[in-house]
Structure 1
Amino acid sequence: MIQKLKNIISSQVSYKNRILGSIVVAQLIVISVFTFWPVPDQVRTYQDIVFTDSEAIIDEVQITTQKSSPPPPPRPQVPVPVPNDQVIEEEILTLEDIDISEYSDSMSVVGLGKVGDSDRIASNPQLPPSIIRIVEPTLPEEAKEAGIKAEILVSFLVDKKGQVEEATISQIRLYDKDSDDYRVVDRVGYGLTNATLEAALQWRFRPAKDQGEVVKSYTKHWFNYGF
């Protein structure tokens, strides 16, 4: 019986020893883990940063300069004209080589009468000029022989006295001899326009009136030849 009790007590002591040994081993393992576990670098906080003077922070300031663009090209010099002493002889034009008759019978011919006063010219008067005397032109013999059939429209500038101050050719109609067909031309020849203007300057009119006032004004009339 005593031997049995010894055995029981011995087994209990052995069990306790194993438990205590296991606890010790576990503690050692835990201690070794915390001891040899890798620790990361410490993070510097705001309090850890020590500010120094600006001269210590900025090691070296490098001064940079902007590259300048090349200067613009110089302005081209304007050549200075050099006067020369060359004499240019003017060509003298003589009127002997010009046939004036070629230019004297066209619409560009203007007949001038007596110069009137300098009052205004009414372009559209209330009462236009009215004819009080007509002078028929003398038809040149050359035009008669050629059988000219034409109409010439004359523009009159009538002054305040009813006289023709200016007469111009406005239109020339040259008709076919055998029909009533016509064409508008610039000249008719045979001295016909000169004869027309010579007669037109002798016409007399009752002057125009505008707002009860006698004024200068224009009027037009046809001269017929060969009808």
Structure 2
Amino acid sequence: MSCIIAAELIALAFFTLWPAPGSKSENKKKATFNDDTIVMDEAVITTQASTPPPPPKPRAPVPVPKDEIIEEKIIVFEDINSSDFTDSLSISKLKGAGNSDQVASSPQQPPTVIRIVEAVMPDAAKEAGIKAEVTVRFLVDKKGRVEDARIELVKVYPEGSDEPRFLDSIGYGIAEATLRAAQQWKFRPAKNNGKPVRAYSKQVFTFGF
């Protein structure tokens, strides 16, 4: 009987002290770790084949046309005494300017322009493509003011021709624009023997050139 008990104790001790095999969870962890390792080994680092194009340059602002009022262009050759020409185009002064003096037909020193006002070409003349030269005859008083201005000659150049046509009058508002500008001119008066005299002067206004 004692021998049987001893044999059972030896068998119990054998099974108790024998090292236990790894658990399933530990094996699963090892397997998972091995799988991750394989995935990392197979990873491939990629790079861009070319750099992206640069962003487009900002466009320059486009100027927006604005409506502007075209005024008559004034050219002044030298300073003049403004008091001499104050309200020089008034009716009272034009009527009585130099009426008692005769006009010198050939003065020793003819009138000299010191202030020009260019005529503005009317829109109707622009649309019609008018090219014209208008000769104006000025009567300049002894203070250099325009006493009278009249159209003396009109030359019109037909389209595609260099030969002018002489006309007695012209439309499209050109005559009115010419005289309106001519009345604003200023002159250094003509002189005879050093004294100012009334005299004529001719000037040409051009349109469409």
TM-score (norm 1): 0.49
Equivalent position to 2:142, from 160, 167, 179: 160
AA of the residue aligned to 2:174: L
Aligned residue pairs, count = 116
1:88-107 equivalent positions in 2, closer than 5 A: none
Q: Residues of 2 paired with 1:186 and 1:125: CA distance?
A: 29
Percent identity of paired positions between Structure 1 and Structure 2: 53
SS across alignment from 2:124: helix
Q: Residues of 2 paired with 1:154 and 1:135: CA distance?
A: 13
Equivalent position to 1:149, from 120, 131, 151: 131
SS across alignment from 1:134: strand
Structure with the greater alpha carbon radius of gyration? 1
Q: Residues of 1 paired with 2:151 and 2:136: CA distance?
A: 5
AA of the residue aligned to 1:140: P
Q: Residues of 2 paired with 1:203 and 1:114: CA distance?
A: 14
TM-superposition CA deviations, 1:27-83 (whole Å, max 9, x none): xxxxxxxxxxxxxxxxxxxxxxxxxxxxxxxxxxxxxxxxxxxxxxxxxxxxxxxxx
Q: Residues of 2 paired with 1:225 and 1:157: CA distance?
A: 23
AA of the residue aligned to 2:208: G
Give 4+ residue runs of structure 1 displaced > 2 Å after superposition: 112-115
Give 1:127's aligned residue. 109
Q: Residues of 2 paired with 1:226 and 1:149: CA distance?
A: 5
Give 2:185's aligned residue. 203
Q: Residues of 1 paired with 2:169 and 2:150: CA distance?
A: 13
Q: Residues of 1 paired with 2:152 and 2:170: CA distance?
A: 13
1:25-174 equivalent positions in 2, closer than 5 A: 114-115=94-95, 116-117=97-98, 118-174=100-156
AA of the residue aligned to 1:212: G
> What's the offset of the Cα at 1:168?
0.5
Does 1:212 find its partner at 2:198?
Answer: no
Give 1:180's aligned residue. 162
Q: Residues of 2 paired with 1:187 and 1:127: CA distance?
A: 31
TM-superposition CA deviations, 1:128-162 (whole Å, max 9, x none): 00000000111110001000000000000000010
Give 1:222's aligned residue. 204
Q: Residues of 1 paired with 2:113 and 2:137: CA distance?
A: 13
> What's the offset of the Cα at 1:179?
2.1
- Unpaired runs of 5+ in structure 2? 1-90
Q: Residues of 2 paired with 1:114 and 1:161: CA distance?
A: 12
SS across alignment from 1:193: helix
